[in-house]
Amino acid sequence: MESLSTKSQLDMARNVHDMGSINKMREAIASGDETVLQEAAQQFEAIFVQMMLKSMRKAQDALADEDSPFNSQQVKFYRDMHDQQLATDLTSGGGLGLADVIVKQLGQTEDSYTPASVIRSDGDLSSLNRNRVYNVAEAQDIALSSQSIRSQSAQKDAMFESPEQFVESLMPIAEKVAEKYGMDPKAIISQAAVETGWGKFVIHKADGESSHNLFGIKANKGWQGEQAVVDTLEFNNGLPQKQKAAFRSYSSVEDAMEDYGRFITSQPRYSHAVENASDAARYTHALQEAGYATDPEYASKIMAVYNSDRLSALMP
């Protein structure tokens, strides 16, 4: 009956591939069944592979064209389902070798322990099974601790439900800032769209509150306000590299827009951009030349949005 119960516990955890399944694996491993240990190790390996695939997909999404049909929510939904199955397939029939390492770590033999302590008269777990459970608990604590650290870090999340809402909400503010600093409001909106993917990837602080940073302005030494540290892609010799950077955080989009106008017009290195602020193409090219972003295609991407049918259709 115990082997049947153990099998049931693993069945409940199988194919879930998330941290919630680890508790069920932990209970199953406590039975001491070597078959169960092997299955649990394979599921740990599947979780690891899926996390690896998910990280790769995020990097791919960051570089993907926003308007590409392969970047739609429907495609991502079915892609995630495919990745879950792929993780299961990759870790079956021998897998990547990680399961074997886990088995060696958790599946110690009785020869490693004093025989008198293997079976206790009070009916408690043997030292062999206790050691397995403790090892699984340690692995669980490490995984959950890592997950907690990630949750405490800033991340990028959606702030607007659609490009329509993005333009409708920001255009009135952009127009005021543009009039104050002699800029083109459409160019401001286009740059914000490139920086945030039409508001889908706005930096949010650890507590989930939006930073309202629409232009990717970093928190330099002169910045006295709040900031959020998040992973970002920087280009080095034309190649993207993942780095951590501190970005400015604002209390509202109005503050973010105002700071953008003040930032551009107060920095000497952007003087050429300010001089050409009425010409979007020259303005964005001057921003790139002055080092606003490391992306070699930065100006081209902004102008692609600026001249797109999508933005033209959304303009009031």
223 versus 36: the higher-pLDDT residue is: 223
The reported pLDDT for the residue numbered 70 is 60
Active-site hit among 164, 234, 289, 297:
234
CA 47 to mean position of chain CA atoms: 17
Torsion-angle region of residue 182: left (phi > 0), alpha (psi -120 to 50) or beta?
left
Of 130, 120, 144, 147, residue with least CA distance to 26 = 130
User: Rounded CA gap, 151 and 146, in Å?
Assistant: 9
pLDDT digits (tens, 9 = 90+) for 236-272: 666 666 777 889 999 999 999 999 999 999 999 999 9
The reported pLDDT for the residue numbered 149 is 37
At 256, list the tokens: 């973010």
Active-site hit among 27, 45, 83, 259:
259
pLDDT digits (tens, 9 = 90+) for 165-210: 999 999 999 999 999 999 999 999 999 999 999 999 998 988 889 9
Burial tier of 229 (Cβ tally within 10 Å: 0-12, 13-18, 19+): middle
SS3 of residue 210 by DSSP: strand
| pLDDT band with cut points at 50, 70 and 90 for residue 28 | low
User: Rounded CA gap, 135 and 22, in Å?
Assistant: 12
Task: Assess whether 259 carries a catalytic annotation.
Answer: yes
For the chain, what's the residue count? 316
SS3 of residue 239 by DSSP: strand
Whole-model pTM: value is: 0.51
CA distances from 244 to 30, 153, 233, 249, 315 (A): 40, 10, 9, 15, 35
Which residues are paired to 240 by β-bridges?
235
Cβ atoms 265, 181 nearer than 8 A:
yes
User: Rounded CA gap, 164 and 169, in Å?
Assistant: 8
pLDDT > 50? residue 113: no
Q: Distance between terminal CA atoms of the chain?
A: 70
pLDDT digits (tens, 9 = 90+) for 32-68: 556 666 667 777 777 777 777 777 776 666 655 556 6
The reported pLDDT for the residue numbered 202 is 92
At 80, list the tokens: 């995630």
Task: Assess whether 195 carries a catalytic annotation.
Answer: no
Eight-state DSSP code of residue 66: T
Domains detected in the chain: 19-107 (no CATH), 163-314 (1.10.530.10)
